[in-house]
Chains A and B, each alone.
Chain A
Amino acid sequence: MPSVLVTGTNRGLGLEFVRQYAEDGWRVVAGCRHPDKADELNALATTTNGATTVIAIDVTDRENVRAAAREIDEPIDILINNAGRMESFDEGFGDLDYAKWEDILRTNLFGPAWVTHAFAPHVARSGQKVIAMMTSGLGSLTENSDGARNAPGKLYMYRSSKAALNMLVSKLAPDLRDRGITVVAVGPGHVQTDMGGPTAKLKPPESIAGLRDVLASRTIEHTGQYFFYTGAEQPW
């Protein structure tokens, strides 16, 4: 039975990953900051006959991440760095909150780096050996332009953190390749979640089904690249 570890699973896309992998019979390690408050996740986990373990992982707390990596002593086929945060759409030029920017960079950039470092040994001794970083179309420099599918301007904190994360994927790839690990950036599309908002057309089941197909078919030749949930390679 293959296994997956996902961070940020208490809601949204993370929760949908858990739902689909569990339904498919995978061993699922579901990380979230506050398992005691993750009612929907816990209810889901109880229906999986023990195949899903909910574990406290706060990606902004390095010691906590290390402790989780010690507790989970098993191979991880696919590690999905999904936990992330974004500022609200009404924060923009002229009123940026620098402490918040640093928090967002720590969550969206350092968090995946810490989790990847702590769990790389688990991934290296698995069959599939894939690490995914959830990025965003908003993190694409190419697509941050007039006429592209994402509205230009705004969201400086989130956009910059995801561009930096994309750089991390690209430059970690050689190090991880030495350990047989494939690392990719993946874009879920604009999905109807708390983060994506109610007007998004894409629903979580479709986005996550697409991403699971993409991840199932990634091999070392794809390492260091960025893929959309449809499987299309994306520009930086």
Chain B
Amino acid sequence: MPTILITGANRGIGLESARQYAADGWTVLGCCRDPEKAGNLAAIDGVAVHRLDVTDSAAVDALAREITAPIDVLMNNAGQTSRPRPNFGEMDYERWAHLLAINTMAPYKMAEAFHDHVRRSERRIILNVSSIMGSIADANGGHVPYRTSKAALNMAGKTLGHDLAADGIIVLSMHPGWVRTDMGGPSAAISPEESAAGVKRVVESATPKMSGGFFDWQGKTLPW
């Protein structure tokens, strides 16, 4: 059976993805900062919970040594947003630096650390959960720190797509939709179930030609 590793698996899209892949019989490695508080994750049959703070490079390396099995899908889902919405001149730069660390650098670090696990698997997918807010062409404004971190993530994904093509690894940047989660809020457009199922379908049908690209949960290509 194939294996998926999911970061930020304790809630939202991460948790729902863990449920859906486990239901399909996959081995799910569910990573989160506080396993003690991740009862919902641990309760899913077929999920192994791992403690991981993705901004801790040494911890990422340690987990990569601990896990020896191939990983078919590396799902970099852990992320944070900038809240409250900062205006020009009022941005908290240390918070911004933290968003860049968790949203941009950590997914790249995971790709470096788990490169060999993915390379040895059958499906060889690295899935970065990005956002339409990482689209520079998106006409909306605000949330500048979050937006910059996701644009930078998309660039890392595009570059990884080139560098890892020789290993047969497909790298996807995906907008999961505006989802009713803690991050998306209660008035968002779609449920976590719809989002996770859509992302999963896109991953299942991913081709090498798509590598490095930016897609939404329905498989539509998004503008940079």
Residues of B near A176 (CB, < 8 A) are 88
A167 x B147 contact (CB < 8 A): yes
Tell me which residues from 189 to 208 in chain A have a Cβ below 8 Å from any Cβ of chain B: none
A101 x B159 contact (CB < 8 A): no
Interface size class of B (residues with CB under 8 A): 35 or more
Q: Given A110-B93, A153-B162, A167-B144 in contact, is the A94-B151 Cβ separation under 8 Å?
A: no
Does residue B62 face the partner (Cβ distance < 8 Å to A)? no
Does residue A139 face the partner (Cβ distance < 8 Å to B)? yes
In the assembled complex, how far is the CB of residue A89 from the closest CB belonging to chain B, in whole angstroms?
A: 13
Of B41-49, B66-74, B108-116, the stretch lying at the interface with chain A is: B108-116
Of A8-16, A50-58, A74-82, A154-162, the stretch lying at the interface with chain B is: A154-162
Q: Given A102-B100, A105-B97, A236-B137 in contact, is the A163-B152 Cβ separation under 8 Å?
A: yes
Task: Find the B residue at minimum CB distance from A179.
Answer: B88
B147 x A93 contact (CB < 8 A): no
B89 x A117 contact (CB < 8 A): yes
| Cα of A235 to Cα of B65 in the assembled complex, Å | 41
Task: Find the A residue at minimum CB distance from B136.
Answer: A236
Instruction: Report which of B108, B149, B162, B223 forms a contact with A164, defined as CB distance below 8 A.
Output: B149
One digit per residue, 1 when the CB lies within 8 angstroms of any chain A CB and 0 when it does not, for chain B 62-103 equals 000000000000000000000000011101010011001100
One digit per residue, 1 when the CB lies within 8 angstroms of any chain B CB and 0 when it does not, for chain A 100-117 equals 011001100110010001
Does residue B200 face the partner (Cβ distance < 8 Å to A)? no
Does residue B164 face the partner (Cβ distance < 8 Å to A)? yes
Instruction: Report which of A98, A105, A162, A171 forms a contact with B57, defined as CB distance below 8 A.
Output: A98
Interface residues of B (CB under 8 A from A): 57, 87-89, 91, 93, 96-97, 100-101, 104-105, 108-109, 111-112, 115, 134, 136-137, 141-142, 144, 147-149, 151-156, 158-160, 162-164, 212, 214, 223-224
